[in-house]
Amino acid sequence: MQTPAPTQHRCSAVVGRRAVLGGALALAACRGEAQGQPAERGPAPPLKSVLPFPPGASVMTGQLDDPAYVALFTRHLSQLTPEWEMKMEYILRPDGSFRFDAPDRLARFARDNRLRLFGHALVWYAQKPAAFERIDGDPRAFAAAYRNYILAVAGRYRGQAVGWDVVNEAVAEDGEGLRDSLWSRNLGRLDHMRLAFEHAREADPGAVLFINDYNLESRPRKRATYLRLIEQLLKAGAPLGGIGNQAHLNADLAPGEFTRSLRELASFGLPVHVAEIDISLNRARGMFSSRADLEARQARLYGEVVEAMMTLPARQRFALTTWGLRDGDSWLTRPDENPRPPKDAPLLFDDQGRGKPTFWAVADAAR
């Protein structure tokens, strides 16, 4: 590893918690990555030894074939969320049978490497498997198949999964009420969620059961609906034990918005999971003096996220999960999400596995 140059130390301090050098110009001038080179600060300490809550990332089985990926993951992280292969779309075949090869491989990898396994996701409006569409409009058959699915999937990882996203993205896009879905039509707007939590509890009494959603910091109305939904589910007796905030953020989110949102989510006293964080450069709008300016905002925002987590009581800091490990692993850098250059760079590690300024902002905010 290289010995860090003194100016590079100062650069890192800018994006750290106790930033004293203000302003985008100072940042742009002092940053070491003007030529696309990440600022070097010596060896990146294992995140899991720096953060006082578990750091995790989403994973797909194909990535486990890459030894560099595995080494980076196990050095830094202590929790794993399946990115796709524990979703209904993967597990439930059109004929109604289940396939568990990939999710089992992820679970085995987690066990072999002493990583916490976080299940994602049991009920999601976006999934419309043929096996359920066939019984659309037959509430009894639907309810039975629904319970059967949740018992089979959450039950399979019983005792291993520390938590599950039981209901994912239930609030309408604009924040006005709840989404219509195959699930809500057959089992009721609120009831399909209550039932999902009850079935998941039956399947795995030890897992913390989460609700999860996005755009909570950028859309206060959506956040308010989410909070109301949580309240209703708790009142209805649903065994909801944790609150997820996906945190797919854009680098131009105004300072303080994330913190305000997290505090409100934490007001129930339940554990909070920053469950899918990535901070997009490409989706940020508005006027920026340069890409470097935007990157500096991105790093500061990562720092704010960790600081906000640190202000919660320890029992409420469930985990912080990035959606992907290295930039090139991110869904935001795949052609369907990122059709035009420049390539987005939303995560903590570059494609070579080096800690970016975002990594150091996270590490510094925790120290």
Angle at 282 between CA 280 and CA 286, to 5 degrees: 105
Q: Which of 85, 169, 198, 217 is catalytic?
A: 169
Of residues 204 and 276, the one with the C-beta less far from ligand XIL: 276
Site for ligand XIL in 258-287 (CB under 6 A): 276
CA 171, distance to chain mean position in Å, is 17
What Rg value do the Cα atoms of the chain yield, rounded?
21
Q: Is 257 a catalytic residue?
A: no
* 3-state SS assignment for residue 354: coil
Q: Which of 83, 198, 217, 276 is catalytic?
A: 276
**Residue of the chain from 246, 250, 321, 338 that contacts ligand XIL (CB under 6 A):** 246
Of residues 276 and 295, the one with the C-beta less far from ligand XIL: 276
Interaction pattern, residues 326-365, with ligand XIL; x per rule: CB under 6 A: -----x----------------------------------
DSSP for 143-194? HHHHHHHHHHHHHHTTTTEEEEEEEES-B-TTSSSB---HHHHHH-TTHHHH
Q: Is 337 a catalytic residue?
A: no
* Least distance (Å) between residue 87 CB and ligand XIL: 7
* Least distance (Å) between residue 171 CB and ligand XIL: 13
Interaction pattern, residues 138-177, with ligand XIL; x per rule: CB under 6 A: ------------------------------x---------
Of residues 27 and 345, the one with the C-beta less far from ligand XIL: 345
* Least distance (Å) between residue 337 CB and ligand XIL: 9
Round to whole Å and give the CA distance between 167 and 199. 12
Inter-residue contact 169 to 214 (CB < 8 Å): yes
* Least distance (Å) between residue 213 CB and ligand XIL: 9
Round to whole Å and give the CA distance between 1 and 16. 22
Site for ligand XIL in 291-330 (CB under 6 A): none
* 3-state SS assignment for residue 63: helix
**Residue of the chain from 40, 83, 204, 252 that contacts ligand XIL (CB under 6 A):** 83
* Least distance (Å) between residue 336 CB and ligand XIL: 9
Round to whole Å and give the CA distance between 57 and 78. 9
Q: Which helix (H) or strand (E) holds 267?
A: none
Of residues 135 and 277, the one with the C-beta less far from ligand XIL: 277
Phi, psi of 340, rounded to the nearest 5 degrees: -120, 150
User: What are 83's two structure tokens?
Assistant: 């990115």
Q: Which helix (H) or strand (E) holds 320?
A: strand 317-322
Check residue 12 for interaction with ligand XIL (CB under 6 A). no
Of residues 40 and 83, the one with the C-beta less far from ligand XIL: 83
Of residues 124 and 197, the one with the C-beta less far from ligand XIL: 124
User: What are 324's two structure tokens?
Assistant: 């992907």
DSSP category for residue 217: T
User: What are 201's two structure tokens?
Assistant: 């509890």
* Chain position whose Cβ is nearest to ligand XIL: 331
Contact residues toward ligand XIL (CB under 6 A) are 83-84, 121, 168, 246, 276, 331
Q: Could you list the active site residues?
A: 169, 276
